[in-house]
Amino acid sequence: MAKGKTSVYFCQNCGFESSKWMGQCPGCKEWNTFVEEVVDKGSTKTSVKKALEDIKPMPLSAISSADEERTSTSMKELDRVLGGGIVKGSLVLVGGDPGIGKSTLLLQVCKNLSNENIPILYVSGEESLQQIKIRAERIGKFSDSLELLCETNLDIIKEVIAKKKPKVVIIDSIQTMFSENIASAPGSVSQVRESTSTFMQIAKGMGISIFIVGHVTKEGVVAGPRVLEHMVDTVLYFEGDRHESYRILRGVKNRFGSTNEIGVFEMRNIGLVEVENPSEFMLSGKPVGAPGSVVACSMEGTRPILLEIQALICHTNFGNPRRTATGTDYNRVNLLMAVLEKRLGMRLSECDAYVNIAGGIRMNEPAIDLGIVLAIISSKLDKPIDEKTICFGEVGLSGEVRGVSMAEQRVLEAKKLGFEKCILPQVCKNGFLHNIEGIELIGVSNVKEALDAIR
């Protein structure tokens, strides 16, 4: 091996470095994730004295606290997740399953920005210029401020960015980029980390907003070391079944906004179309007069979303009853069934239970506890709940119904969609600053009162 180069082992899951191969990673405890890579350990010494002459610390009072500069993408759902628009000099990672629509979403962003004469550079390492052209023709008309580049060499991309000086750069995808200074193959831990570090320096040094597309593993996380997510400013995950029409863009990290916001899109033949009122499509097709169905309200950031919770309770023919939860936490459903058996005397231990959140969306907020409880009760008693009734509230182990945040916004959203009755925690009802007309509010303190409210 050449002088100055050595062989080290990296964990493909978390980026842990070791001088020898190990079966289990000490960092993330995963098995068989170490790969061998050659690292150049050559001398990269710099003059510390010269660096100190150029770099000087600044007092906090001398730093401007002006708001960050943002550019709207003309897509309200995406702007909501980003915290109000694209921040100048930000590095955004977009992850998702293959075929989910990551490239389509970013190409639509390019279309909107190019029509405002904002210079954009789209760098593709996976598709040819002709393939991108075919997809672009399906989306709409683009202006000449969008320029395409098919390249995977990091040094060439840096030179093109420095020459063109665009305001927005799209990298599709980070796993195809490689640096000639690193001997490992594209997509390896070293290459992904080096590429992300380079784009971060470009974004911060030149004030360019950069979007990088990341592949995901079978577990649903971005491929490569976990340090990749720590290096970027924002991490967005595109969720949904590729065979379904609806997609959810969720922010799991955002240095410039909330991490609880979601954006809802519908995939059509012209690209992704925004769904500005997700509650309407979540409730479309809701059965009338069917036991085990109830509408609950969950909050995603500042947005109330109404969703249908379905439950099917039937007597089991086996020794161990079957429990299934789709769209919510399985263990939470078991906990709530135990609360009903203990506090209301319902014999659920001999019943199969199937709980589903209709619409393909996943919710884990505790405020849907009351909806799950009422759906289970309705199915067990074979008694339908009025379709104009909505509920929300957290249920504790003692059977108490606890208060949740932003209760007034939830009630106003239910009223806007035509609901006439709302079952909510008593503490939330007492905390309202003014009366809400047009909808009946029923405050409950425990699951017994909630049962009486639907009888």
**Amino acid symbol at 122:** Y
Q: Output the six-digit token pair for 144.
A: 């000449």
3-state secondary structure of 126: coil
Q: Phi and psi dihedrals of 187, rounded to 5?
A: 90, -10
Strands 421-425 and 440-444, sheet pairing = parallel
- Cβ burial of 352 (10 Å; 0-12, 13-18, 19+) is middle
**What is d(CA 324, CA 442) in angstroms, rounded to the nearest whole number?**
30
Is it true that the peptide bond before 74 is cis, omega within 30 degrees of 0?
no
Confidence tier at 243 by pLDDT (50, 70, 90): low
What local confidence, expressed as pLDDT, does residue 325 receive? 95
Q: Output the six-digit token pair for 406.
A: 């932003």
3-state secondary structure of 444: strand
**What is d(CA 3, CA 367) in angstroms, rounded to the nearest whole number?**
61
Percent helix, percent strand, percent coil in the chain, to nearest 5? 30, 30, 40
**What is d(CA 321, CA 324) in angstroms, rounded to the nearest whole number?**
10
**Which positions ≥6 away from 226 have C-beta within 8 Å?**
13, 14, 15, 28
Query: Could you give the domains of the chain?
Result: 5-40 (2.20.28), 68-276 (3.40.50.300), 280-454 (3.30.230.10)
- Cβ burial of 119 (10 Å; 0-12, 13-18, 19+) is middle
Q: Render the burial of 327-343: b for 16+ CB within 10 Å, e for the rest.
A: bbbeebbeebbebbeeb
What local confidence, expressed as pLDDT, does residue 222 receive? 57
Higher pLDDT, 217 or 262: 262
**What is d(CA 336, CA 332) in angstroms, rounded to the nearest whole number?**
6
**CA-based R_g, the chain, Å:** 26
Half-sphere exposure of 446 (CA within 13 A, CB side): 10
Half-sphere exposure of 85 (CA within 13 A, CB side): 14
How many other C-beta atoms are found inside a 10 Å radius of the C-beta of residue 207?
A: 13
3-state secondary structure of 89: coil
Distances from the Cα of 28 to the Cαs of 32, 165, 240, in angstroms?
A: 11, 39, 27
Instruction: Please count the residues of the chain.
Output: 455
Higher pLDDT, 402 or 219: 402
What local confidence, expressed as pLDDT, does residue 43 receive? 44
> What confidence tens digit (pLDDT) does each residue in 246-284 have?
888 988 899 988 887 888 898 888 889 998 888 887 788
Higher pLDDT, 253 or 52: 253
CA 328 to chain centre: 15
- To which H or E segment does residue 205 belong? helix 189-206
What local confidence, expressed as pLDDT, does residue 1 receive? 47
> What confidence tens digit (pLDDT) does each residue in 395-453 have?
999 999 999 999 999 999 999 889 999 999 999 999 887 888 899 999 999 999 999 99
3-state secondary structure of 278: helix
Q: Output the six-digit token pair for 148.
A: 């395409």
Higher pLDDT, 264 or 227: 264
Q: Phi and psi dihedrals of 318, rounded to 5?
A: -120, 170
Q: Output the six-digit token pair for 8.
A: 């080290």
Q: Which of 373, 314, 384 is nearest to 341 (CA)?
A: 373
What local confidence, expressed as pLDDT, does residue 40 receive? 60
**Mean pLDDT for the chain overall:** 87
Q: Output the six-digit token pair for 277.
A: 């009122």
> What confidence tens digit (pLDDT) does each residue in 30-49 have?
888 887 776 665 544 555 55
Distances from the Cα of 257 to the Cαs of 204, 230, 247, 344, 429, in angstroms?
A: 18, 16, 21, 43, 30
